[in-house]
Amino acid sequence: MDAQRELGHEVLEGGGGGNFLGVALREWRADIIHFHWLHPYLLRESAVGSVLRASRFMIEVALLRARGAKVAWTVHNLVNHAGQHAGIERWFSCLFAKLADACFVHSHAAGESAAERFGIPASKLHVIPHGNYIGCYPNEISREAARGILKLPSAAKVFLFLGRIEPYKGVFDLIDAFVGMPGDSHLVIAGKVVNPELLAELEMRCRDHPRIHFEPRRIPDQELQVFYNAADIVVFPFRQILTSGSLVLAMSFGKAVVAPLVSSLEEILPPAGVKWFVPTDPGSLSDALSEWIDSDPEIAGALNLTQASVWEWKEIGAKVIDTCLTPQ
């Protein structure tokens, strides 16, 4: 959004659901309406409520298009993370794809998956990389100072999981995999946990492992540098994923990573910057962590940073606008 403003466009932040049409007509009056996550507009608690809300939303989008607005959609995932009313979400997402003027994905592999699931024609599907976060957050603290704040040994190999903690992200799998790591390695798990039962189980699982450091809170922007600069490797133990902004953030901090072996991530990560695991293989994550014990994560992190530096927001913002305004 900031990049598009720098290019001279007026950009407004939208919302998710509610009185969408009224706001779009009275306040936004936009030439382009760019959606990211559709499920807030489609889904409600009940299946019947979801069908009614989604039907209304499709009519609203059709009315906006009839008034001249261009409609764009960036496909971040194939199904909402909770898996709520997945069939309803898919059916109406396919209908939305027919209404949209342009659909964006962050890799060619993600495009193939999105096209198959939502029936998006090639003429509407455009691959634009996820922009980097270099310079977006403070990044001045040294490794030694960061480890001092988190009370981590200076010579330890430190693995990090950072972000909102949800069941689909595989944090319990990460704990199980880490327990067998050598004694000079440490694991930091940091992020907000909304579900109280999940929080209680995580606290219980971490309590007996002195080398696992659990910070169950949202990490403020100014503190991100502490966690990333204290870490050697950032781990993404996700069981399902299409694209990941948090992965790009880790690359932007120059970190080596552990990630699930999926084609959409293979496309963006340098081979030497990652150790892969297979989500369906119970021992694969542990093997991937072990591979970093005898490898140099600093060199790998530098490769990831170099790759991320290519993804400039200004170029991305311009391409989104131009694609939306170009007749298909």
Question: Tokens in use for 177?
Answer: 């995999």
Q: Which stretches within the chain are classed as H helix?
A: 2-6, 20-23, 39-42, 47-66, 86-99, 108-118, 143-150, 171-178, 196-207, 224-230, 245-252, 263-266, 284-293, 297-308, 313-325
Question: What is the number of structural domains in the chain?
Answer: 2
Average pLDDT over residues 37-52: 93
Distance CA 76, CA 242 (A): 7
Nearest by Cα to 257 from 289, 215, 213, 219? 289
Distance CA 152, CA 161 (A): 15
Shared domain check, 124 and 31:
yes
Pick 239 or 305 by higher pLDDT: 305
Task: Report if residue 77 sits inside a domain.
Answer: yes
Nearest by Cα to 245 from 92, 136, 122? 136
Kindly compute the dihedral angle of the four CA atoms of residues 12, 166, 91, 38, in this order, to the nearest 10 degrees: 0
For residue 16, pLDDT over 60 is answered with no
The arrangement of strands across the sheet holding 185-190 comes to: 212-215, 185-190, 157-162, 233-235, 256-260, 274-277
For residue 17, pLDDT over 60 is answered with no
Shared domain check, 22 and 70:
yes
For residue 242, pLDDT over 90 is answered with no
Question: How many other CB atoms are there within 10 angstroms of residue 73's CB atom?
Answer: 25
Nearest by Cα to 314 from 132, 137, 164? 132
Alpha carbon of residue 203 to chain centroid: 25
Task: Report if residue 138 sits inside a domain.
Answer: no
Task: Report if residue 182 sits inside a domain.
Answer: yes
Return the pLDDT at 328. 63
Q: Given phi > 0 = left and psi -120 to 50 = alpha, else beta, which region is 279?
A: alpha
Q: How would residue 235 be classed by pLDDT, with cut points 50, 70 and 90? A: very high
Q: Record the pTM.
A: 0.90
Q: Each residue of 193-211: pLDDT tens digit? A: 988 999 999 999 898 899 9
Task: Report if residue 137 sits inside a domain.
Answer: no
Distance CA 320, CA 4 (A): 9
Shared domain check, 183 and 121:
no
Task: Report if residue 287 sits inside a domain.
Answer: yes
Owning domain of residue 104: 2-130+312-325
Shared domain check, 156 and 274:
yes
DSSP 234-253: EE---SS-S--HHHHHHHHT
Return the pLDDT at 282. 81
Query: With pLDDT > 70 as the criterion, what percentage of the chain qualifies?
Result: 98
Shared domain check, 196 and 148:
yes
Shared domain check, 265 and 180:
yes
Task: Report if residue 262 sits inside a domain.
Answer: yes
Q: Please, are residues 38 and 80 in contact by the beta-carbon 8 Å criterion?
A: no
Shared domain check, 115 and 6:
yes
Shared domain check, 233 and 151:
yes
Q: Each residue of 282-291: pLDDT tens digit? A: 899 999 999 9
Shared domain check, 290 and 227:
yes
Task: Report if residue 212 sits inside a domain.
Answer: yes
Question: Tokens in use for 213?
Answer: 């450091």
Distance CA 289, CA 276 (A): 9
Average pLDDT over residues 106-133: 95
Question: Tokens in use for 111?
Answer: 């495009």
Distance CA 251, CA 300 (A): 10
CATH of the domain at 271: 3.40.50.2000
Shared domain check, 317 and 299:
no
> Which helix (H) or strand (E) covers residue 32, if one does?
strand 32-35
Shared domain check, 303 and 154:
yes
Question: Tokens in use for 93?
Answer: 């997402």
Average pLDDT over residues 144-172: 94
Shared domain check, 105 and 85:
yes
Amino acid present at 15: G
Task: Report if residue 270 sits inside a domain.
Answer: yes
DSSP 92-152: HHHHHHHH-SEEEESSHHHHHHHHHHH---TTTEEE-PPPP-TTTS-----HHHHHHHHT-
The maximal CA–CA distance of the chain, rounded, in angstroms, is 64
